[in-house]
Amino acid sequence: MKVIFLGTNGWYDTCTGNTVCTLLETNDYYIVLDAGNGIYKLDEYLKDTIKPIYLFLSHFHLDHIEGLHILNKFNFDNSLHIYGQPGTRKRLNKIINYPYTVPFSELPFEVHLHEIGEGVHHLPFKVRCKFLPHASPCLGYRFEVDERIISYCTDTGPHKNVEELGYKSDLLITECSLKMGESYPGWPHLNPFDAAKIALKAQAQRLALTHFDANIYRTHEERLESKESMKKLYKNIIYAYDGLEIKL
């Protein structure tokens, strides 16, 4: 399995990267996590165009769905399956439509919208979902595929659901919007200490930090510092940047 970070920014694009999007390349599927502007790079990595493509959305904040407006750039040989929380069909069909962009029905490939909630879902692979604390309802995911466990928890404050989704995962991917000591209870996010503490409690094998707030982390050096500051607490920590590939 290969994990490829296509976009690692939160909020907006900068010279450090695009808004958040991550690709899991598995033996039989392509699994895409969120659809920020980084999704435009997707066709650079889809070597087997016959593989089904599954896109999972955490929530509807624009930095997680804004890349959907460029879907007509692609010409997939297979259908695109988009999964999200209840309300996904109504919201996406309103935004991905005229007068804003090309609607799903006019793309050069089929798009299927699916709504899922908390619990375990048996798709072609096993997915567990839990809601996370944020300013807008946000789904965290736990994928079991290719004998690996990948957990994805973005736009969240510290919470037991993040620990449960990340429990003994091979890779826990979390956001890192804030810097050390920062917290915003009304709009929950994680800082490096929060993320490392969660990974430690969850006994995750590795932790990857992504979704760096573009207004707070303005350089790659600042992002790297967030990783280095946590090495004594949690050693297997990775700071994600656009184009980073991890093999599991």
Taking 90 as the threshold, does the pLDDT of residue 170 lie above it? yes
Angstrom distance (rounded) from CA 235 to CA 48: 35
Q: What is the mean pLDDT of residues 143-147?
A: 98
Q: Which residue has the tokens 């969850």?
A: 202
Q: What is the mean pLDDT of residues 177-192?
A: 95
Taking 80 as the threshold, does the pLDDT of residue 114 lie above it? yes
Confidence at residue 140, expressed as pLDDT on a 0 to 100 scale: 98
Q: How many CA atoms lie within 13 A of 115 on its CB side?
A: 9
pLDDT in tens, 44-97: 999 887 899 999 999 999 999 999 999 999 999 999 999 999 999 999 999 999
Instruction: Give the Å distances, CA to CA, from 24 to 30, 34, 53, 126.
Output: 6, 11, 10, 14
Binning pLDDT at 50, 70 and 90, where does residue 231 land? confident
Angstrom distance (rounded) from CA 80 to CA 160: 32
| Domains along the chain with CATH numbers | 2-247 (3.60.15.10)
Confidence at residue 47, expressed as pLDDT on a 0 to 100 scale: 87
Looking at per-residue pLDDT, the higher value among 186 and 116 belongs to: 116
Binning pLDDT at 50, 70 and 90, where does residue 25 land? very high
Angstrom distance (rounded) from CA 16 to CA 176: 14
Q: Which residue has the tokens 């979902």?
A: 129
Strand partners, 149: 144
User: What is the percent of the chain where pLDDT is above 70?
Assistant: 100
